[in-house]
Amino acid sequence: MSFSFSPSSCIRTRPFCREQKRLLSKQFYSHGSKTGILRRRLLSGGIALTVCFSLLNEGSVRVVRYFDSTFRYNIPELAKKYKVYALDLLGFGWSEKAIIEYDATIWKDQVADFMKDIVKEPAILVGNSLGGFTALFTASELPQLVRGLVLLNTAGQFRDSNLKPVINNEESAINKYVVNPVKQAFQRVFLRILFWQAKQPSRVKSVLQSVYINTSNVDDYLVESITRPAGDPNAGEVYYRLMTRFMIDQSNYTLDSILQKLSCPLLLLWGDLDPWVRPAKAVRIKEFYPNTSIVNLKAGHCPHDEVPELVNNALIDWLTSLDHEASF
């Protein structure tokens, strides 16, 4: 299914406008548990977003996660005590591959609007990798929405003190009208070829196995949860925009600048054997933000999917301690 999308300030900042909001495409499923999970597509302002949430518990504490397919072993356990939402960020998973300018603020706004209009009370944010960075950014900018924050091998970089500030000199006409268009054309062709290769099931499985220490959970379900959304007609263009306009330059959103604004308790569940994000980052985060607890795990980039029992136990213990502190 393809979508047409025209960027506008209204849609960008308020994708969950109440007058436009409606839920559709209900799908019940259960993964390795008797706990029921409901997946729905939330359509608003012409944008389709996918949300999974638990059916069993109506408790007052909400846990909001990102990228529902990789939290398949966590949602059912948490749902025994808490109400859980798992949100696919715009451009990822089963959410729409909208043709817009992607940056950290678009996902922060998406999460904030979802929490205001759907969750409707302060919640615990949980995120892995880019989802972790989005959770951190949201918690720092909108502290009134967040009770606590849990990051698993989060993306994001600290500011490089040796990096000289870029001076934006006026662009020459030849660069603007000749060099840059040619450069962008080559980038687009190269990245589309790279994306086509990257979305092949064998390649996806190989990459996952390289970042999981115990690869037993790198199964067909996990691979398909990545390859099927990648088949969206707009997925290649979204990949190009992410790689050229967000991933390459994250200097506007450094971890140190974001952590300076953070005010809620922070838990780091860290896969110490991650080849992409080393444990030194967790140590540095705690040094920068002392209100941090760290649980080190013998796992790779996705500890919640690789060692779910350990992650679930640590997370529930931490949530229980927050509940206990709040009762005094």
- Are 137 and 256 in contact by the 8 Å Cβ rule? The answer is no
Q: What pLDDT score was predicted for residue 305?
A: 96
Picking from 46, 29, 152, the residue whose alpha carbon sits closest to that of residue 100 is 46
DSSP result, 214-247: SGGG--HHHHHHHHHHHTSTTHHHHHHHHIIIII
Looking at residues 113-131, what average pLDDT do you find? Answer: 92
Residue in the structure block whose two tokens are 């969950």:
16
Closest CA to 305 of 30, 27, 31: 31
The answer to whether the CB of 39 falls within 8 A of the CB of 88 is no
Q: Which pLDDT tens digit goes with each residue over 85-105?
A: 888 888 888 888 988 888 888
- Residue owning tokens 């949530």: 319
pLDDT tens, residue by residue, 180-231: 666 666 666 667 777 778 889 999 999 999 999 999 999 999 999 999 989 9
Name the residue type at position 42. Answer: L
pLDDT in tens, 11-41: 233 333 333 333 333 343 334 443 445 556 6
Cα separation values, 16 from 13, 73, 124, Å: 9, 28, 20
Contacting residues for 99 by C-beta, under 8 A, at least 6 apart: 5, 7, 234, 237, 238, 241
Contacts of 220 (CB under 8 A, 6+ apart): none
Q: Regarding beta strands 37-44 and 22-29, do their DSSP bridges make them parallel or antiparallel, or are they unpaired?
A: antiparallel
Distance CA 82, CA 85 (A): 10
> Can you tell me whether residue 292 is helix, strand or coil?
strand
Domains and CATH numbers, the chain: 9-160+249-326 (3.40.50.1820), 173-247 (no CATH)
d(CA 198, CA 300): 20
Q: What phi-psi label fits residue 304: left (phi over 0), alpha (psi between -120 and 50 degrees) or beta?
A: alpha
Say how many Å lie between the first and final Cα of the chain, rounded. Answer: 51
Chain center to CA of 164: 30
Who has greater pLDDT, 248 or 268? 268
Tokens of 195: 């994306």
Dist. CA 48–CA 247, nearest whole Å: 23
What pTM was estimated for this model as a whole?
0.80
Model confidence over 132-175: pLDDT tens digits? Answer: 999 999 999 999 999 999 999 999 999 876 665 554 556 566 66
Mean pLDDT for the chain overall: 79
Per DSSP, the residues of 22-86 read EEEEEEEE-SSSS--EEEEEEEETTEEEEEEEESS---S-EEEEE-GGGGTTTHHHHTTTSEEEE
